[in-house]
Amino acid sequence: MSTSTPKPPLIIPPTGNHTASVIFLHGLGDTGKGWCPITNSLSRDLPHVKWVLPHAPTGEVTAHNKKSMPRWFDIISYNFESAAEDRAEIMMAARMTDELIQREVDAGVPPERVVIGGFSQGAAVALLAGLTSRPEDGLAGGKEGWKLGGLVILSGWLPLQSSFQQASTKSNLAMQALSARAAQMPIFWGHGTDDNIVRHKVAEAFTKKLTTSCGIPMVESLTLGTEHNARCTSALPQASDVEGGPGSPGLRFRSYKAGGHSVCPRELRDLAGFLKRVVP
């Protein structure tokens, strides 16, 4: 399946001294430019952060009657738990992310000061690139697994689920497996309870897999309102009660009541708080 050559990433420079970088991958049908209003807003609280907003190549999407649009990989079906997946294209997107991370490292930013993330399909790529070791399919630090500052997942899903197993359960011949560093990475996962694309119960199942089958600690599971002062409920202690707070290793799964396949004001504030803790 042919795809176009993507344009160079859009760069939002820091407004202060550059000490950290966030690489954020957009969702299906979008471009990096679509996230400029959000990153520009977040930059006010994160003047030291450089934002890297890559653009996906354009290609056919099977789930949309083979319509051509920007996408990181083909989506065969929106049944994310059991549908066939285009592994070759997914791994190509992960390698592209490896390359973007390495560019920041080459420019003098330690990998511990780099955060990768994404929305929807971009989040799926970020999960694979950030949490797996890919000795045959990865580039640079992606071969043995990156030691990053953090990972941001917004309305995402877990691709190539067989990749997300503890390394000790995989043979040495495995093409990819959960990185030995994955359990030490702070992860923010935000998801709307009324998401009609990546259903909330699907996201819950994927986070359960990461925490029960893959050994990534669940340090927070909250249901929040979409606005800052809305009522919230908690299945685990509030972040302030968890040792190390929001910047500590492990998964923070935040559900936003009545939120759809989008980001809400409360989610963006929570994201800014997370980034302040992992790359202060």
Residues designated catalytic = 120, 195, 261
Structure token pair of residue 234: 């908690």
What are φ and ψ of residue 137, in 5° steps? -110, -10
Task: Check: CB of residue 156 under 8 Å from CB of residue 120.
Answer: yes
Please give the angle made by the CA atoms of 181, 32 and 76, to the nearest 5 degrees.
75
Neighbours of 45 (CB within 10 A): 12
Tokens matching residue 118: 């994404």
Contact 114, 51 (CB under 8 A): no
- Whether the Cβ atoms of residue 157 and residue 203 lie closer than 8 Å to each other: yes
220 near 189, Cβ under 8 Å? no
Are residues 235 and 222 in contact, defined by beta-carbon separation less than 8 angstroms?
A: yes
Q: How far is CA 209 from CA 98, 124, 169, 180, 196, in A?
A: 24, 14, 14, 16, 21
| Rg of the chain taking only CA atoms, in angstroms | 17
Strands 67-70 and 58-61: antiparallel
Structure tokens at 207: 């986070």
Token pair recorded at residue 175: 């093409």
